[in-house]
Amino acid sequence: MPKLNQSGVSPLLVILLAAIGLIVYLLIANMSPFNDRLNSALYPKPAAEARGPRSNASLSLWQNDTLVTSVAPGSTIELRGTGFNRGETVYVGLAGYFGLTPVTADSTGNFSLPQIAPQLPGTYNYVSLAYRRKTWTIMASTSLTVTQ
């Protein structure tokens, strides 16, 4: 039988209740829907991290130095990206398809990538992805319509 202190409570019981209370708090804090708001309030990000991806990155489609939104099946096109971090590796290609191509932005944050338009008529989305802060981020996107 544990000894009671002067107030009639066992020190072992107090430690056990404190440990259970701490575990319950951690479970509630990490599993509740207010977790993101709570952590944002307790641990705000510096302004540089809170900004997210660069908003001025863009992706466009060109054919023979002309900006295009529709082309014939199998046409040669060029994807041009602007506004990226210089020297950044960006992965570019059709959204939802395997085989994105890595390209490196030049000293001005631009890149170009020759491509062949899809063979089947339809609307296709091209995306540029960057791996930042241990997460993939869609930096820019554009659509292309392939017509017969």
Residue 48, pLDDT score: 45
- In sequence order, the 6+-apart residues with CB closer than 8 A to the CB of 138 are 53, 127, 128, 129
**DSSP helix/strand/coil, 136:** strand
CATH number for the domain running over 50-146: 2.60.40.10
3-state secondary structure 83-116: CCCCCCEEEEEECCCCCCEEEECCCCCCEEEEEE
Q: Which long-range contacts (CB under 8 A, 24 or more apart) does 99-107 make?
A: 100/127, 100/129, 105/81
Q: Looking at residues 78-99, what average pLDDT do you find?
A: 90
Angle between helices 35-42 and 11-31 (to 10 degrees): 110
CA atoms of 108 and 85, how far apart (whole Å): 8
Cα–Cα distances (Å) from 27 to 20, 40, 41, 75, in that order, read: 11, 18, 18, 56
* pTM score, whole prediction: 0.61
pLDDT, one tens digit per residue, over 6-56 is 666 677 888 888 899 888 888 776 766 555 555 566 666 554 444 444 458
Both structure tokens of 139: 């930096």
How is the chain split into domains, by residue range? 11-44, 50-146
pLDDT at 99: 85
Average pLDDT on 99-109 reads 92
